[in-house]
Amino acid sequence: METTMLKPQTLESYIDVPVAPSKPQIRERRRPMFTGNEDHDISLADAAKLTRNYRERAGKNAIKGGFFGQAALQQLLDQEGVVGVRYYYGQENDDRPVLVLVGVDATGRDLVEGFLLERSIPCPPFCGFFNELNS
C-alpha cells in the first residue's frame, strides 16, 4: 500500500490569495425591481382557507376585513411613479386592526410623501353577503 506524503505549505503558495480589506467595502444595495405586473392570483379555495384560518384564531367578534372605495384606490395608484401598493398592519387606540396603504415605486420605495389610505369601512358591520371569504 502506497502512502502519499503531503508537502508543507510555504509562504509563497499564499501570495495570490486575496486579503480581506481592513474596512468593509460599501456596496450599493440592489433593490428588487417592481413592474406592477407581478402575479398575485390565488384560487377561491386557497383564499377561503386563509380567511377561515384567520377568523378561527381571531375570534367571533373580530374585524374580518374592510372596504376601500374605487376613487381612493385609483387616487393612490394614479400618483406619479406608483407601480403598486404596499400595506402595513396598524391598530387603532381601541385595538381595532387596520391596514395602511401606500404607493410603491419601481425600486420598492414607499411613497410616503404622497397619498395614503386607511379609513376603510370595517367588516363587520359592513360585510358583503355571506360567501367563502367571510362566513
Question: What does pTM read for this prediction?
Answer: 0.69
Mean per-residue pLDDT for 71-87? 94
| Peptide bond between residue 32 and the one before it cis (omega within 30 degrees of 0) | no
Mean per-residue pLDDT for 96-121? 90
How far from 11 is each of 8, 19, 22, 43, 80, CA to CA, in Å? 10, 14, 21, 63, 60
Give, for 75, the enclosing helix (H) or strand (E).
helix 70-77
Is residue 37 over pLDDT 90? Answer: no
pLDDT at 36: 84
Is residue 127 over pLDDT 90? Answer: no
87: which strand partners? 101
DSSP category for residue 12: G
DSSP category for residue 126: S
Q: Extract the C-alpha cell encoding 28.
A: 450599493
Give, for 53, the enclosing helix (H) or strand (E).
helix 44-58
pLDDT: is 37 or 27 the higher one? 37
Q: Extract the C-alpha cell encoding 92.
A: 387603532
What residue ranges do the domains of the chain occupy? 66-135
**Residue 125 confidence class, pLDDT cut points 50, 70, 90:** confident
